[in-house]
Amino acid sequence: MLDTPTTDHVPFTHVYEPAEDSYLLLDTFSSPPLTTLFRSLFPLSAASPSPLILEIGTGSGVVLAFLTAHAETIFGRTDVLAWGVDINEHACRATGETVGVAVREVGEGGGGGSGMYIGNCVGDLTAAVKTGSVDVLVFNPPYVPTEDVPVLQDGDGDAEAPTDREVA
C-alpha cells in the first residue's frame, strides 16, 4: 500500500477537504489492474514521450500529489508530468504544497521515484488545455452541501447524459 499524502497544511476554510471518494480514487490508481494498464499505455522507451497527467479541480492536491509522488510505482516511469487546474487560487497553492511534501516524504522513505510536478493554474475546467495534449485526465468533483435539493426540469429523457462542460 502506498503512502497517502498529508494535507495537514491545507487551509480547509478555503479549500475542499478530501473525502472518502478521494481515498478510494488513490486505491484505484495504485491497484494492479490500473498500474498494469498505465504501464502498457505509457511504456518507458525513447519513442514514448513523457505522459501528461492533468487533474481538474485539484482542491487539497491529495490526488495529484499521490500520482506524482508514486509515479514510478503507478506508471513504471519517473518522467511523468503532473499538472493541475482549479478555479480556486487557495487550492492551487495548497496543491503545490501537498505535492512538494508528498514527493519529499516518498523520497526520504526510500520509495519509488517521483514524477515532475509542473504546476497548477487558476482556470475553469479544461479552458487552458490544448486539445489532445493530456494523457491522463483526473476529475473528482467535490460534493457541495446544499439545504435544498434542486428539482430537475422535464426534459428529453436524457437527464443522465453529461453536459458539454463535463466532457469538453
DSSP letters, the chain, are -PPPPP-TTS-TTTSPPP-HHHHHHHHHHTSHHHHHHHHHHS--STTSPPPEEEEES-TTSHHHHHHHHTHHHHHS-S--EEEEEES-HHHHHHHHHHHHHHHHHHHHTT-PPP-EEEEEEE-STTTTS-TT--SEEEE-PPP---SSPPPPPP-SS-TTSPPHHHH-
The pTM of the full predicted model, rounded to 2 decimals, is 0.83
In this structure, of 21-35, 104-118, 150-164, the range with the lowest mean pLDDT score is 150-164
Band (163; pLDDT cuts 50, 70, 90): low
Tens digits of residue pLDDT in 17-30 = 999 999 999 999 99
pLDDT tens, residue by residue, 27-42: 999 999 999 999 999 9
CATH number for the domain formed by residue range(s) 20-41+54-140: 3.40.50
Mean pLDDT over each residue of the chain, to the nearest integer: 88
